[in-house]
Structure 1
Amino acid sequence: MTQPTQTPRCILALDLGTTTGWAIRGFDGLITSGTASFKPGRYDGGGMRYLRFTNWLTELDRRSGPIATIWFEEVRRHAGTDAAHVYGGLLASLTSWGELRGIPYAGVPVGTIKRHATGKGNANKDAMIAAAQARGFNPADDNEADAIAILHWAIETRGGVA
């Protein structure tokens, strides 16, 4: 007796920031990636960045989903206060969006992602881009490269279980 083939679940990987890197494995098994800018406009209120982010997540879920799991880069230390505030706001928006939809989410430590992608837990941006290119991707920047690395980590380790 043959085992039924299992349809791949839709997995979203994010590198949160003003320029958010993303990579998604759709239910069809295809991987796509890119970046999305959440830089505030000149006349935007303080919450518009986060509103645009949640609307973007909803649209991504509608077009490529349904999203089954979300993995994101878990940053413990930021170089600047503004970056920390943006990350915290995006993380709060992401987790509340996931909670509303019953979508599990989890952070992956930066060193874990870098080690999986390059063999070095302190790999620089160029090394992360080169690792994505070695997998056949052409990332626009290190944000997209990090998201690709997160997605491959999640797939290859079954979310750290393998």
Structure 2
Amino acid sequence: MNAQDYIWTDPLPEAVGRAKTVLALDLGTTTGWATRGFDGLITSGTVSFKPSRYDGGGMRYLRFTNWLTEIDRLSGPIAAIYFEEVRRHVGTDAAHVFGGLLAVLTSWGELRGIPYQGVPVGSIKKHATGKGNAPKQAMIDAARARGFSPADDNEADAIAILLWALETRGGLA
């Protein structure tokens, strides 16, 4: 089975509903994303929000806002958003970037009435690999075992988040 052939048909919670677009995100400077479109097709990738040397401090967040709006326009309307809920970061900069992207994501969702939910890292890893502390390569291998071809661990994590949301009905299963 190829990633393009993976079509989810089971019903989801009311907010997500059948034939609705679901977005999953691994937030960071390189953000991994995965969507289950209204047609049931799953697509994924990564997008960089690394600022150029001439950008002001808020440009990465403006680009993220515009990117969310474009995903909603092209693949939406988005019915629900799931994201990796990171509680501990290795560095201060990573924590600041995550916090800024999370603030943009939640305010963007609130303005549009789109429900969003953070998923703990351990829950994602355990669902994907069977181990709550799985390394990055294990997440990539798990996505490949399911028929996907992630470019890196960010995309693999986003795929895992999406599959977790679909297969656990967003934690309601």
Match of 2:90 among 67, 79, 97: 79
2:43 maps to what in 1? 32
Q: What's the secondary structure of 2:119's corresponding residue?
A: strand
* Amino acid of the structure 2 residue aligned with 1:155: L
1:10 to 2:10 alignment: no
2:134 maps to what in 1? 123
1:16-51 deviation digits (Å, cap 9, x = unpaired): 000000000000000000000000011000000000
**Which residues in structure 2 correspond to 1:95-134 (within 5 Å)?**
95-134=106-145
Give, in whole Å, the separation in 2 of the partners of 1:69 and 1:40: 28
1:54 maps to what in 2? 65
TM-score, normalization by structure 1: 0.96
Match of 1:45 among 38, 42, 56: 56
Q: What's the secondary structure of 2:90's corresponding residue?
A: coil
Q: Give percent identity, aligned residues only.
A: 82
1:54-73 deviation digits (Å, cap 9, x = unpaired): 00000000000000000000
Give, in whole Å, the separation in 1 of the partners of 2:18 and 2:102: 29
Unaligned runs of 5+ in 1: none
1:90 maps to what in 2? 101
1:77-129 deviation digits (Å, cap 9, x = unpaired): 00000000000000000000000000000100000000000000000000000
In the TM superposition, residue 9 of structure 1 has moved relative to its aligned partner by: 1.6
RMSD over aligned Cα, in angstroms? 1.0
Give, in whole Å, the separation in 2 of the partners of 1:112 and 1:54: 27
In the TM superposition, residue 53 of structure 1 has moved relative to its aligned partner by: 0.2
TM-score, normalization by structure 2: 0.90
